[in-house]
Structure 1
Amino acid sequence: MLKGLLFDLDGVLTNSAKFHLTAWNNLAKELGIKLNQSQLDSLRGISRMDSLNLILKYGDQSDKYSLEEKEKLAAEKNAKFVEQVETMTPKDILPGIPELLAAAKRHNLKIVIASASKNAPKILRRLGIIDEFDGIVDPATLKHGKPDPEIYIKAQKIAGLKANEVISLEDAKAGVEAIKAAGQFAVGIGNQELLKEADYIVPDTSQLNLDEIEAEFNKR
């Protein structure tokens, strides 16, 4: 029986993912690294340091920087991202999300954020929806990033539920892999081929319908 929804943030509730990718791409250029679209897309849904390490790997610079230097680079990227976050308003909530959250409330579902973003509380406050959620996983408590299932297992525990009682929503391949590794039902939002491991896929958030998703969930 469905009792909760677990949400990724960037690219699911709002398109803050574009700010992340722009900030990472600009940092990569400063480091003399040119990222193609596939490489940029691979940064979706993973933690700040994992993203930086991946960029350095793409540029054959994995051993060029100390941990302290990497932390400084990641902080530089984050500062630029936060500048963009400060411009966000409730108008930046993606289509279909207000209706989905309202439906979840009517069904008395627990709702938890499972995002690798350390800026999740700030973003949710800017969007005016932080009070809609029963909890937020603190990325600082995580030992492993997506596609490891740790974040979704923690979100499930915050909700006080079992793996077969939740539906988790993601727009990133790494996120879907994390959900499935946690033994949960995965809703993928975006490219069907990229998210093919998901149990249910919609092209964009406007197509999210709780009754339809729950009907598919109940078949599993």
Structure 2
Amino acid sequence: MIDTIIFDLDGVICSTDHYHYLAWKKLSDELHISFDEKDNEKLRGVSRMESLDIILEKSSQTYSQVEKEEFANKKNTLYQQYLKQMTPSDLSVEVKETLDQLRNKGYRLAIGSSSKNTKLILKQLGLENYFDAICDGTMIQYSKPHPEVFMKAADLLGKNYKNCLVVEDALAGCIAAKSASMHVAAISSAYGSPYADYHLNTFKDLLEINNK
């Protein structure tokens, strides 16, 4: 019996991909590294430092760990500046109404995101106090496909992993949830994933899941 739903944030509750892209693009341009939207797709569901390493693979230069950390911090500063442009109007009516209906059905709702900006994003969307638990990148050691973020979200609520449904838009997230013995609902880019138990054409399709 599913009694808890854990949502990834980026690409599920809202879309911040464009802001990530703009920040990585600006940093890449400054480092004279080619970077386009196709390259950006490789960074989905990947931690900031791992994303940076992927970008730097295209550089002919070698950078120290200190330099890498400076680059990552600069990207995050740029990203946060873009995020501050978000408002509650960036939260779709469909998502908010679906969340409200799921809550009314008695589900516990949580966020499981590897983003360290999760709380800022939720605040900008007017959802900072909405979810029963939030586990983000500031609370975990391992990024997806490791299941840590979802396991901790469930632990915060004292819930059995087998009673949790994870909603994900990235393959790495689907793998992470499945390895924690959780149910998986795939949406957007993860639609059709062999690791998913449910495939959502739209966010509101969550309401059609037969909870047994």
Q: Residue 138 of structure 2: SS of its match in structure 1?
A: helix
Q: Does 1:8 align with 2:8?
A: yes
The CA deviation string for residues 40-71 of structure 1, in whole angstroms up to 9 with x for no partner, is 112112221121122223x156x812222111
The CA deviation string for residues 143-163 of structure 1, in whole angstroms up to 9 with x for no partner, is 211111111111111121112
Q: Does 1:23 align with 2:23?
A: yes
1:108, CA displacement in angstroms? 2.2
Other-structure match for 1:210: 206
Are the equivalent residues in 2 in contact too, given 1:21–1:43 (CA < 8 A)?
A: no
The CA deviation string for residues 183-209 of structure 1, in whole angstroms up to 9 with x for no partner, is 11111111366734222122343xx23
Distance 1:94 1:82, change over 3 A: same
Q: Residue 15 of structure 1: SS of its match in structure 2?
A: coil
- Find the aligned partners of 2:189 and 2:52 in 1 and give their Cα distance: 24
Q: Give the AA of the match of 1:142.
A: I
Number of residue-to-residue matches in the alignment: 212
**Greater mean deviation of Cα atoms: 16-25 or 115-124:** 16-25
Are the equivalent residues in 2 in contact too, given 1:190–1:201 (CA < 8 A)?
A: no
- Find the aligned partners of 1:127 and 1:147 in 2 and give their Cα distance: 27
Other-structure match for 1:81: 79
Quick one: percent identity of the two aligned structures?
Answer: 34
- Find the aligned partners of 1:95 and 1:181 in 2 and give their Cα distance: 32
Are the equivalent residues in 1 in contact too, given 2:6–2:164 (CA < 8 A)?
A: yes
Other-structure match for 1:125: 123
- Find the aligned partners of 1:43 and 1:174 in 2 and give their Cα distance: 11
Q: Give the AA of the match of 1:212.
A: E
Other-structure match for 1:145: 143
**Greater mean deviation of Cα atoms: 8-17 or 196-205:** 196-205
- Find the aligned partners of 2:90 and 2:192 in 1 and give their Cα distance: 25
- Find the aligned partners of 2:9 and 2:190 in 1 and give their Cα distance: 19
- Find the aligned partners of 1:31 and 1:148 in 2 and give their Cα distance: 30
1:37, CA displacement in angstroms? 4.1
Q: Does 1:47 align with 2:28?
A: no
Q: Residue 76 of structure 2: SS of its match in structure 1?
A: helix
1:36, CA displacement in angstroms? 5.0
1:89, CA displacement in angstroms? 0.8
Other-structure match for 1:104: 102
Q: TM-score if structure 2 supplies the norm length?
A: 0.91
Q: Residue 167 of structure 1: SS of its match in structure 2?
A: strand
Are the equivalent residues in 2 in contact too, given 1:28–1:34 (CA < 8 A)?
A: yes
What is the RMSD computed on CA atoms of the aligned residues?
2.0
1:30, CA displacement in angstroms? 2.4
Other-structure match for 1:90: 88
Distance 1:68 1:194, change over 3 A: farther
